[in-house]
Amino acid sequence: MTSQPEARAALVTGGSRGIGLAIARRLAAEGFAITLSARTGDALEAAAAELAETGARVTTVVADASDDGDLARLVTHHEEAWGRLDALVLNAGMGFGSPIDATPLRRVDKHYALNFRGAFALVAAALPLLRATAATGPRGARVIALASLAGLLPEPDLAAYSATKAAVVSLCRSICIEEVATGVSATAICPGYVDTDMAAWKHDVLPATDMIRPDDLAELAVSLTRLSRNAAVPVLPVYRAGGGLTGA
């Protein structure tokens, strides 16, 4: 008798709505067990209930993605629930726009804490489980980080946001280099404007109907989990059709 492959598992931060929930839906449809995390309990439970109705195996953790203690607790919860980590999806983030000389340093600190430091801390905490999982099969394990095209091609008034997303891109490159022997790799998905609440401020010049769809990014994220451990994709830019190099 041929044994069945062990079900894979994913941890998704910022998973209660938007891009994170779209990715969780697609991963669940692929048979992944899911740990969803977000800061707001009610929205998180609603998202989990939606996934559970489709037959998905899902658990939730209310956590602040910039809090070291919360992140350690999140990884522990995931390991206790599923015992493996095939895909770590770093989707929690924030963004405010203002010129450099009009940006309070406390806002810079907040961007750094959530967009980069929290991502770095979660990767560091999750690496032992990612490595152990990667050793069990031909696909390895993946870190999938939602960065931004602004991290590759900065836009005016987005200096703090762009800098922290550029740091996420660099982190993914570093993971690919440091973990090549373990089968763990990372991809920074870098989209232009996506139709989510975070991009609503842009609707006066760019209608939502012209933005990238969250499901587009979910499809890309799932496709990465199908690659063999021999294929690494450190950076994946996603341009808005007709938007030019900035995606705007």
Are 85 and 33 within 8 A, CB to CB?
A: no
User: Angle 191-62-143 (CA atoms, 0-180°, nearest 5)?
Assistant: 40
Region at 61 (left for phi over 0; alpha for psi -120 to 50; beta for the rest): beta
Active-site residue flag, 161 = yes
User: Angle 64-109-37 (CA atoms, 0-180°, nearest 5)?
Assistant: 15
Please tell me which residue in 112, 161, 193, 239 is annotated as part of the active site: 161
List the catalytic residues: 161
